[in-house]
Amino acid sequence: MRKPFVAGNWKMNGSRASIKTLVSGILNGMGRVNNVEVVVCPPFVYISEVAQLLEGSTVALGSQDVAKEESGAHTGKISVSMLTDVGCKYAIIGHSERRPYYLDRDEVVAEKFIAAQKGGVIPILCVGELLEEREAGQTEAVVEEQLQGVVARTGIKALENAVIAYEPVWAIGTGKTASPAQAQEVHAFIRNWVRKEDANIADKVRILYGGSVKAANAKELFSQTDIDGGLIGGASLAADEFINICAAAG
C-alpha cells in the first residue's frame, strides 16, 4: 500500500510575512488531512524559518533543487548537507523549469539525484514531455529517456528511496490539466517501466502528478490507480486550497 504524498512547490514566490501566514494556515488545516504525507518546498532562503514554523508538526520540508557538488567553491549553490542541516527531507530534482533554463541535463539530474541520496535526502525526480513532444506521439519515449538518464547511472534499486513526479510541461502553470485518463496512461507506463526491472519497487514507488492541480480536479486525478498524489505549484500558495488538495489525496 503506497501512502499518498502531496508536495507544494512554492517556486520563487513569497516573503517572510506571506510564508508565515501560509504555514500557519496549512498547520491549522492539517486536522482535515488523513494518512497523507504532506511536504512543502519553500525557496532556499526561507527553509530554516519554515523549519521552525513546522516544528512538532507532521508536515515535512523539501527543497526545490540541490547542488551535485558536496561543498567548496560553487558560488550561489546549496549542498545536500546544508539541506539536511536545516531539516530538509526531500529535494525536487530535474524540474522542467530547471532542465532547459539552468542546464539541468539528464546527466546533471542524475548527479544531483545521486548526491541527494548519498547525503540522506530523498529525491523527487521530475519527468514530463513538452506539448510538441506529446503532439508528435513522443510522450513515452521522452519520459523513458528521462527515467533512464538516472536509472542507467544508479540502478533501479535507487527508486526504492525516491519519489517520481510526472509533470507534463504543457500543463504547468497553464490551467490546462492533463485529463485523469491522460495522466493515468503515463503513470501506468512509468510503473510498468519500473516493473520490467523490479516488480517490488514498482509496487512501492510513489508517482505524483503535477500540472495545474487544484482542489476542484484533485480528487479525480488522485483516484486513478497509478497516481499516488501530487506536486502542486500555484495552488500550494493558498493554505485552504492546498489543504483541500491534501485532503483529496487521503
Catalytic residues: 95, 167
Contact of 113 with 158, CB cutoff 8 Å: yes
Which burial class, exposed, middle or buried, applies to 181 when counting CB atoms under 10 A from its CB (0-12, 13-18, 19+)? exposed
CB of 249 to ligand 13P, least distance (A): 14
Indicate the residue type of 125: L
Stretch that binds ligand 13P, among 24-32, 105-113, 184-192, 227-235 (CB under 6 A): 227-235
Determine, following the binding rule CB under 6 A, whether residue 245 of this chain makes contact with ligand 13P: no
Residues 87-106 binding ligand 13P (CB under 6 A) are 95
Helices (H), the chain: 16-29, 47-54, 80-85, 106-118, 131-135, 139-154, 180-197, 199-204, 215-222, 239-249
Determine, following the binding rule CB under 6 A, whether residue 124 of this chain makes contact with ligand 13P: no
Return phi, psi of residue 230, to 5°.
-145, 155
Instruction: State how far Cα 229 lies from the chain centre.
Output: 10
Determine, following the binding rule CB under 6 A, whether residue 168 of this chain makes contact with ligand 13P: no
Determine, following the binding rule CB under 6 A, whether residue 172 of this chain makes contact with ligand 13P: yes
Q: Which of 129, 167, 226, 241 binds ligand 13P (CB under 6 A)?
A: 167
CB of 46 to ligand 13P, least distance (A): 17
Determine, following the binding rule CB under 6 A, whether residue 217 of this chain makes contact with ligand 13P: no
Determine, following the binding rule CB under 6 A, whether residue 233 of this chain makes contact with ligand 13P: yes
Contact of 33 with 4, CB cutoff 8 Å: no
Residues shown for the chain? 250
156 vs 177 by CB, closer to ligand 13P = 177
Q: Which of 4, 42, 62, 211 binds ligand 13P (CB under 6 A)?
A: 211
Contact of 7 with 90, CB cutoff 8 Å: yes
156 vs 233 by CB, closer to ligand 13P = 233
Instruction: Tell me the C-alpha distance between 42 and 113, whole Å.
Output: 19
- Which residues form the interface with ligand 13P (CB under 6 A)? 9, 95, 167, 172-173, 210-213, 231-235
